[in-house]
Amino acid sequence: MREAVRKRLAKAAKKGKRIVIASFAGAIALSSNISYAQEIGIEDVFDEHYYADQYSDLKNVYGYAKALLLDHFMKFGISEGRQMNELIDIIEYREKYPDLQEAFGDDWDAYIAHYFSYGAFEHRDNGTDFDPVDYLNRYSDLQAVFGTDIMAAYKHYKEFGQQEGREGRSEATVKAEKEAAARAQEVVAKEKETTSKVEENTGNSGPAEPDKGSFAIQSVEVIGDGHIRVTLNQKTEQPLALEAFSIICNSGGSDMTILSGSTKDNMVYDLSTTYYRDQEYDIQITLPDGTCISKVFTYRTDCAQIEAISAARTSAGEALVTYISDQPGYFYYILKEGGQGSARAVSMDSNEVTESEIMGNGVKVEMKQHENSFIVSGLSEGMPYTMYYVAVNTEGKSTLVKSLPIEGEIYEDNTTAIQRAEAFAEELENGEFLYGFEIELESATSETLVLEQFDISCPSGSTTLGEVRTSDNRIYRVYMQYGSIPYKNNTYTILINMKDGTQLKGSCYLDLQAPRVDIRSITWKDAETIEVVVNSDEAGTLYYAIQDVVEGEGTTAPKDPAQIYAQGMKASIGYGLNYITVTGATAGQWFCCASEDARGNRESFYSYKQIPEYTAPDPGPDDSAQPEITGLTVLKASDGAALKVVFNQTMYERYDNSLTQISGIDKKLAFNTVYGSEGDLVDNVLTLTIMDPTISIPAGSHTLTIILYDGTTLTFDFTV
């Protein structure tokens, strides 16, 4: 960092020293971080996994290549308002503090250095939900290990803390949330009391009729990263202007910036926003007469994204449901008689049908990555239904409750089916690609079909066709316009309009992307064996080899995977983390790999990571004794019921949280988990909190059941 900037940094930091550092025992002191933090910059804190996962457009191009993603962030990401990690939003940090902006200008490294030296300890707003100082102060076990190391605190929270259910927000935010919840409960109680008095005075036991002329927000649906659909209860006379919408964060984070909006019917509005974290928001709409209407909604994208979901009544008693998921897991649904008369899925208020009700009492269907379909049977003839559903990925993260109408009338399709349709990518001499669809008919046409007879559509956007080729009038290759890039992981609908007025119809799921993989770690199991952890966003096959040299290592030069595909070893991989054991490798060599999916899509480059120096593996604790629960304390029986469970061994990553159950409760339970330690053991204590605050543990005797991944069942009897 330049000397002039150092001086400005010191000057700006001195202004912040008026903040009193927490004085309670074990609180973090300010001075210990100054020495190293003044040398820290964007490159040191840039999180390539977060940046790629947050922005799928970049992940499609760069994967997890840190150098390329960092270069994009510096050249474009900052100006586009993108965020590089969950520790600090430097754009917002700059905008919120004019004193820093005056001192540092466009020297972005200086903002990072200031935050690590002073801002974090002054509890300046970093623009994210994570407060590293309060995180360390809140958990003494972490403070004992990490001291005042803010970066270590962030890495722990990302890798372990979130999964353990540890609270990462600031104390001020947590306190404000609790106070807001308490106020909301008071408001609800007063409203119930008022309603009761009105009904007593009027003698009317039913709800009052709403004003049919008043507007309300019927639903708010998150339909993807940066895309929100708002549905009103009636049409506006004119389309609402973009300025009429605002989205405010209720959880202490950043408000949403709305980039654009559109509507086809003045009732359903599609909004595009910048990318934001999963939180609770309040959308507000100012109508032309000045009236303001609002609705609270949850923005959740850390779960499976369900797209193109539809239901078609195939017979009097059955319906076919189809959808696309970007992650594997399970799809839960429950049916209720009576349809909504709309052909699209909408988000429903959680007080109508809850996640617990659907998962506890509904039907469970396996969910594959990409295309899915299943039959719903047992329907009453002519009866429309509403399907309420929740999708849960392999990490146990669920979508919001949504609904899908199933019409009472049988769907009839009078078009003739196309025999086969497949997407293709044809590489040109200059390295670019032409994309298109190869369509096979049942028999050759008497005349060659022309481009105008083909209608190919995608639910995610328009498709522009360029030309059509055939050699036999039976197999046609329909090319998209040169320079067009198709929308990946979408089902395209293909219509061919024949000259006699009939139509041929088919569909094609487009997936031309190989599994995106990154090598997370390489560890020694013994002197001859290494274990490689590879993360993948799709199931498939991993080809790998051990190389002495990587040509162009550390540069953007292409890494041709042809030899690895031809001569490398193979291993089946699934979605998420995969563990690969390799023998005979030596320190300093390189583990190199490239992926392939079930459709035969392959990567055009290979990933690589150097094998570290040998270190003897930690033998770990003696787990020869049988695991058992040695104690249980009921912390709360209602309003977030919680149990403290003590074991005779470490439990970290050893049990299936989704199978944990408490007898005497007839609902499917979902738990938040926080690990703790007692005695000489580590992570041998679990604090289990029931996520649904409406579920209580009734008075009486109960049995807690916990199932380990190896099939062992642990039980403990307790009394409330």
Helix (H, G, I), strand (E, B) or coil at 279: strand
Report yes or no on 70 lying in a domain: no
| Cβ count near 530 (within 10 Å) | 24
And the tokens for 17? Answer: 């020293």
Name the one residue in this structure whose structure tokens are 């654009």. 260
Mean of the per-residue pLDDT values for the chain? Answer: 82
Residue 264 pLDDT: 85
- Residues 463 and 581 grouped into a single domain: no
Percentage of the chain beyond pLDDT 90 is 33
Mean pLDDT computed over 443-454: 95
9 and 106 co-located in one domain: yes
Domain assignment present for 587: yes
**Lowest-confidence pick of 22-36, 272-286, 317-331, 666-680:** 22-36
Q: What is the mean pLDDT of residues 616-631?
A: 74
The structural domain count of the chain equals: 6
Domain shared by 12 and 131, yes or no: yes
pLDDT of residue 669 exceeding 70: yes
Q: In whole angstroms, what is the distance from residue 558 CA to residue 554 CA?
A: 11
Instruction: Write the CA distances from 321 to 371, 373, 578, integer angstroms.
Output: 11, 5, 31
Residue 545 within a domain: yes
Q: What is the pLDDT of residue 161?
A: 83
How is residue 551 written in tokens?
């040509």
Residue 599 lies inside a defined structural domain of this protein: yes
Q: Are residues 556 and 491 in the same domain?
A: no
Distance, in Å, from the CA atom of 50 to the CA atom of 300, rounded to the nearest integer, reads: 16
Closest CA to 514 of 425, 597, 422, 604: 597
What is the amino acid identity at position 350?
A: S
* Same domain for 425 and 359: no
Least confident residue range of 200-204, 308-312, 321-325: 200-204
DSSP string covering 358-374: HHHHSEEEEE-SEEEEE
What the block records as the tokens of 474 is 């039976």
Looking at the structure, tell me whether residues 15 and 115 fall in a common domain.
yes
Per DSSP bridges, beta strands 540-547 and 569-573 are: antiparallel
40 shares a domain with 127: yes
Q: Which CATH number fits the domain that encloses residue 558?
A: 2.60.40.10
The pLDDT value given to residue 18:
28
Residue 6: Cβ within 10 Å count: 14
**Mean predicted confidence (pLDDT) in 212-216:** 75
Provide the pLDDT for residue 318.
Answer: 94
Q: Note whether 422 and 291 are same-domain residues.
A: no
Q: Is residue 80 part of a domain?
A: no
pLDDT, tens digit, 9 for 90 and up, residues 534-548:
988 888 999 999 999
What is the Cα–Cα distance from 694 to 678, expressed in whole angstroms?
Answer: 31
Q: Which of 690, 520, 663 is nearest to 593 (CA)?
A: 520
Q: Is 97:105 a contact under the CB 8 Å cutoff?
A: no
Separation CA 150–CA 146 (nearest Å): 8
Q: Is residue 34 part of a domain?
A: yes
Closest CA relative to residue 655, chosen from 629, 620, 693: 629
Q: What is the CATH number of the domain that holds 493?
A: 2.60.40.1220
Structural domain containing residue 263: 217-299
Opening angle at CA 180, ends 178 and 181, nearest 5: 65
Residues 532 and 480 in one domain: no
Report the range out of 50-54, 264-268, 450-454 with the highest average pLDDT. 450-454
Q: What amino acid occupies position 488?
A: K
Last residue of a domain, one of 299, 317, 351: 299
Listed range (200-214, 421-435, 483-497, 565-579) with the worst mean pLDDT: 200-214
Better pLDDT: 278 or 153:
153
Does 398 lie in the same domain as 323? yes
Task: Give me Rg for the CA atoms of the chain.
Answer: 29
CA distance 390 to 692: 15
Please give the structure tokens belonging to residue 380. 């009453």
**Three-state SS string across 310-324, please?**
EEEECCCCCEEEEEE
Both structure tokens of 638: 């209602």
Q: What's the rounded Cα separation, in Å, for the pair 496 and 509?
A: 17
| CA separation for the pair 147, 143 (Å, rounded) | 5
Please report the pLDDT score of residue 293 as a whole number.
Answer: 93
Residues in the chain, overall count: 720
* Residue 680 pLDDT grade (very low, low, confident, very high; cuts 50, 70, 90): confident
The band of 252, judged by pLDDT with boundaries at 50, 70 and 90, is: low
| DSSP conformational letter for 482 | T
What was the pLDDT predicted at 202?
54
Give the three-state DSSP class for 531: strand
| d(C-alpha 640, C-alpha 674), whole Å | 14
pLDDT at 192: 61
Q: How many CB atoms lie within 10 A of CB 608?
A: 18
Strand-strand pairing, 503-510 and 416-417? parallel
Whether residue 186 lies inside any domain: the answer is: no
Containing 42, the helix (H) or strand (E) segment is helix 42-45
Dihedral angle at the C-alpha atoms of 560, 561, 566, 572, nearest 10 degrees? 180
Residue 510: band (very low, low, confident or very high) from pLDDT cuts 50, 70, 90: confident
**Statement to judge: residues 12 and 106 lie in one domain:** yes
Sequence-separated (6 or more) residues with CB below 8 Å from residue 175: none
**In this structure, are 446 and 505 located in the same domain?**
yes
Asked if residue 563 belongs to a domain, the reply is yes
pLDDT band at 352 (very low <50, low <70, confident <90, very high): low
Contact 597, 515 (CB under 8 A): yes
Which residues on neighbouring strands pair with residue 686, listed in sequence order?
645, 675
pLDDT reported for residue 706: 92
pLDDT single digits (tens) 545-602: 999 999 888 776 778 999 999 999 999 998 888 899 999 999 999 999 999 998 899 9
For position 22, what pLDDT does the model report?
A: 28
